[in-house]
Amino acid sequence: MSPHEKVLYRITLVDRTWHVRRPKATMDHAFATIDDAVGFVSNDSGGTAEFVEVLADNIYMVKKIASHP
C-alpha cells in the first residue's frame, strides 16, 4: 500500500520542537528531537505506522519509518 492510501501521523517542526499529530486528532504531542517523535509514532501505532508526514523549514516530505513484510 502506498503512503497516500494510509492515514498518516504528521510530525511538524515548530521553532525547535517536534510536534506529532495523530490521525484525525486535534491535539499535538511535543518532543525535543525528531527521533523521540518517531519513537512516539511507532509506539502509539503499535508498530503499524510505516510512513509519517514531516513538515520542517517549509519542506513537506513523506518519510518511511518502518518496513513491513
Query: In the chain, what are the domain boundaries?
Result: 3-64
Higher local confidence (pLDDT), 7 or 52? 52
pLDDT grade, residue 24 (50/70/90)?
Answer: confident
Q: Which residue has the cell 513523506?
A: 62
Cβ contact 11:65 at 8 Å: no
pLDDT grade, residue 6 (50/70/90)?
Answer: low
C-alpha cell at 45: 501505532
- Counting other chains too, the contacts that 60-63 makes at CB distance below 8 Å and 24 or more residues apart are 62/3, 62/4, 62/8
pLDDT digit string (tens) for 25-53? Answer: 889 999 999 999 999 999 999 988 999 99
pLDDT grade, residue 68 (50/70/90)?
Answer: low
CA–CA gap between residue 20 and residue 17 (Å, rounded): 10
pLDDT recorded at residue 66: 79
